[in-house]
Structure 1
């Protein structure tokens, strides 16, 4: 009889072991009558069997019947313990369940740990089931999109994100096709009308060969982007003081990155941050800026910060290519399409998954703009003389040096093409609108030509500095470098300062003349006063150059000595360091 009862208890215990490996069975006197293999490893069987439970464990059965407890062995192992009482007619048994809470082969423990990990990591995670309902939305995703998990868990994706159609759900697309969507930068959530952009990838969930759902991992790049911006800004400042002698050309066809952009003004700092954000997007981009403002520098920098920076950067100046060749260069040719034509890929194909930069797009003929519009709309290109179309995967960055609305009104730019190329717009202000950058760039170019010409110039003279800040700079940075180069060529090796007389005469006439006109307009002072001021500055500059030697100065200015003395008295110029000789 006792043997039969024991065998029944053993069968029940072994059945329960399939779900919980640690089993202890007690009789109604709380004596241990059977234990599983896991318990035998903790205690010897002889020590445990027929012993009262309270003699082996630090708590009573009554406590375990109502709550679970953690039991620690002398070896440091931890077990979760709970008990259940079973009454069968006159028989009464107590089942004690022990679970190793550090057993990561246990599905429940692994699931618990994974849930903890998901809720604490900095990357956002969202998961949906086959129906498109959101079943998981962690805290990091809440912060990224500024939504509450309580409000959207259980909702359909298109309801939670207010999609206009179910087809707009990328999770449903991935669920149906099984093809992941990798490295997207897009906004699905909006807060007070402001899009919340996240960088994410979406993958299918497959079980037993069947797709049962989809999930997205969204990167929290706010801190990373902030650190990247700070690093770029520090590198820019360092580079503005130190000229790199290394060849900066990259294998992708670029020369510049954001660290090469010189300038200390708030305008240029904010412009760089705006461009960095645009670099993470894949939309077509239009850069607007006057000639010489550095549009291609920004285009290359955006390409090099983007995810496809290993792909080619291909640039073309639309104003430099005749119309009859421009189509062949952009779209490619098929052998025999015209005399001398060969099979050759166009720039759209050459760019592959990189960037095609169309400079001075406003110079492209209208007929060619129509063909370009079709390519951008269909994302396919057909070579000149060919029948086959080829898909294109490049990002198109265009640049114009005029007001887009003005050239659209004049009929030199198609309005529909403008909307296609200007998904994003970046405006580079002219140099005259950021005078702080005139001096910082000037200092940079002084350092550059000091190295090239073996000079040791430190700064500009106060007079030259004032003229530079007042000048209009129609050629912007390109003109500034041209003028600094001319100054540096004419300065002597032992001189430490650039002065007005170092400028070639034609540049002096242009800069000083415009400076005078500007002053008349701004201050409403007479022309005679301006001319007097200019004459005084030129004489003082020459006196300083010749250490206030009147004879040398008069010869330098091309006037007689007596005329110089007369002009100095008339203009109130007095010698402070040298006597008139």
Structure 2
């Protein structure tokens, strides 16, 4: 016969290996069992909680908000109750709890709580609801006169008239969400929700729950959460960095798009989805398909309308206008009166390749404002140190032997270009040469280059290749 002390020890060992948080209090509210998973959920050490009164450790809005204390008071179990509270460091925690009273005969000994952590899920939902009411961008927010940018704007404006899926391709910082919001706000859906979700920001299990929703279940201890499709009903759902979804979720998303319905994770009922899908990808989608990051059939489904956003290095004539805009914006934000940039800084901006694109330009200018006092112009010394170091070309002369056999990389003493830029320029040149050889016949050129017509047409749009330019 196992004595009570050994039985308690064995129970505690079992509790340590459970994937749910276990918290047991006695009838006076003092913690007597607290497992490893609960420590992880609440970011606490066992000595912070064990043998201490619940209200001395955790903060609830009211005592009734504690499901453990509520069960001690009512002696009635509570199932699938969401609880938000704070640990002793002030960190907010949200759990889904099943809580039961513990009796010995008619005597109440305490209560046990089995908890699931839904803190991240609740935060994402709140962020999405916040975004729903903060869709500020329209086509008037898009600055620049570059021909590739203007082509993208015109395509986006035409897309406001339909409900077809849109795929926006472009490097990080080129303004993909700005375009997505502009399409939504320029459409008949502008008064309806705009929900944005970065697919790379969450683990697979959580993003699946966000995308397709969950249904309340006592068996699985899950709470019902509306899917992103439900939240965006009648409006627009932006799926950012679509290629970061695993292939299984991409297949499930494709099914939703094809059937225009959402099947809940619990495989219950389907619901008609009146949602427009806009997806973004920060790489060439053809490369993403070739490297196994994007399903080909999902690409075809999403790219009914395809928009390519040029990087800032290909639209440097827009830097001056963008710089003026951000300076005006930060003048207003910081209550300053900066007039502009010096000619030295302007030259640096024009010669720099801006790998972070418009977002990097914005951050460089904001950082410069923080280093200024009473000056009217941003000069070299106001620029953030990391930008100055990246922009400094250093000694590029070298020796004759350094350059022997590599003159094609240099033009007038300039630095060697980054490999990515050089490869893009080489690819553009070769495609132009092939098109010229085949008199701009897309089918023949694509065959000669051993690529699909769609692949070739994408690159023609991406690199701004026009027949009358060569």
Output the TM-score relative to the length of structure 2. Answer: 0.56
Partner of 2:376: 496
Instruction: Quote the Cα distance in structure 1 between the aligned partners of 2:396 and 2:299.
Output: 40
Q: Cα distance, 1:456 vs. partner? A: 2.0
Larger Rg: 1
Alpha carbons of structure 1 residues 514 and 274: separation in structure 2 relative to 1, 3 Å: farther
Q: Cα distance, 1:337 vs. partner? A: 7.6
Q: What secondary structure sits across from 1:345 in the alignment? A: coil
Partner of 2:351: 470
Alpha carbons of structure 1 residues 356 and 337: separation in structure 2 relative to 1, 3 Å: farther
Partner of 1:509: 389
Whether the aligned pair in 1 keeps the contact of 2:200 and 2:244 (CA below 8 Å) is yes
CA deviation string 1:416-461 (max 9, x = no partner): 0100111110111011100111111111111111222232222221
Whether the aligned pair in 1 keeps the contact of 2:132 and 2:195 (CA below 8 Å) is no
Whether the aligned pair in 2 keeps the contact of 1:453 and 1:489 (CA below 8 Å) is no
Question: Within 5 Å, which residues of 2 pair with 1:65-214?
Answer: none
Instruction: Quote the Cα distance in structure 2 between the aligned partners of 1:379 and 1:515.
Output: 59
Alpha carbons of structure 1 residues 477 and 516: separation in structure 2 relative to 1, 3 Å: farther
Q: Cα distance, 1:338 vs. partner? A: 6.7
Instruction: Quote the Cα distance in structure 2 between the aligned partners of 1:491 and 1:312.
Output: 40
Partner of 2:332: 451
The structure 2 residue matched to 1:407, chosen from 278, 288, 294, is: 288
Alpha carbons of structure 1 residues 363 and 337: separation in structure 2 relative to 1, 3 Å: farther
Question: Within 5 Å, which residues of 2 pair with 1:300-379?
Answer: 300-336=181-217, 339-379=220-260
Instruction: Quote the Cα distance in structure 1 between the aligned partners of 2:218 and 2:138.
Output: 40
Instruction: Quote the Cα distance in structure 2 between the aligned partners of 1:372 and 1:331.
Output: 9
Q: Cα distance, 1:520 vs. partner? A: 11
Instruction: Quote the Cα distance in structure 1 between the aligned partners of 2:147 and 2:357.
Output: 18
| Structure 1: stretches of 5+ with no match in the other structure | 1-248, 528-581
Instruction: Quote the Cα distance in structure 2 between the aligned partners of 1:431 and 1:481.
Output: 12
Q: What secondary structure sits across from 1:445 in the alignment? A: helix
Q: Which has the higher contact order (CA 8 A, sep 6+)?
A: 2
Alpha carbons of structure 1 residues 455 and 520: separation in structure 2 relative to 1, 3 Å: farther
| Structure 2: stretches of 5+ with no match in the other structure | 1-129, 398-406, 416-470
Question: Within 5 Å, which residues of 2 pair with 1:29-48?
Answer: none
Partner of 1:295: 176
Instruction: Quote the Cα distance in structure 1 between the aligned partners of 2:277 and 2:395.
Output: 40
Alpha carbons of structure 1 residues 460 and 276: separation in structure 2 relative to 1, 3 Å: same
RMSD: 2.4
Instruction: Quote the Cα distance in structure 2 between the aligned partners of 1:367 and 1:440.
Output: 44
Is 1:525 paired with 2:413? yes
Instruction: Quote the Cα distance in structure 2 between the aligned partners of 1:293 and 1:276.
Output: 18
Instruction: Quote the Cα distance in structure 1 between the aligned partners of 2:160 and 2:395.
Output: 39
Alpha carbons of structure 1 residues 356 and 250: separation in structure 2 relative to 1, 3 Å: closer
Q: Cα distance, 1:349 vs. partner? A: 1.4
